[in-house]
Amino acid sequence: MSKKMLGDIMKQAQKLQAEMAKVQEEAKTKTVEAAAGGGMVTAVANGAGEIVSIKIDREVVNPDDVEMLEDLIVAASNEALRRAQEMVQSEMSRLTGGLKLPGMGGLGDLFGK
């Protein structure tokens, strides 16, 4: 492989890495929503893998059954995080044409995985 070809490949890789970083930054501002218990608990997560809000319907708040509310919060939060991960992966797939490039970003990198 010639030095010119190697240089071109390196430039393309750097450009792709910069574009992926831009997609990651943009994903941080996007949100997804998930609900549990028929909409009684709703969680919103962003593309950075953070829960940004939880909404709880008053009807589900029962001091005698706190465990059910806790389970609904966990379920809604986990689903929102799963959807956020899918959103970021989808954005990255569009950029890379579906290639899985190690070390080149994605929600796993945002979470340190």
pLDDT at res. 112: 47
Give the model confidence (pLDDT) of 55-76 as tens digits: 999 999 999 999 999 999 999 9
Q: In what order do the strands lie in the sheet with 51-56?
A: 31-36, 41-46, 51-56
Indicate the pTM of the whole model: 0.72
Residues paired with residue 31 on neighbouring β-strands, in sequence order: 46
pLDDT at res. 37: 95
Nearest to 55 by CA among 45, 64, 43, 67: 43
pLDDT at res. 3: 82
Cα 58 versus chain centre, distance: 28
Domain 20-110 CATH class label: alpha beta
Q: Hey, where are the domains in the chain?
A: 20-110
Give the model confidence (pLDDT) of 17-35 as tens digits: 888 888 888 888 999 999 9
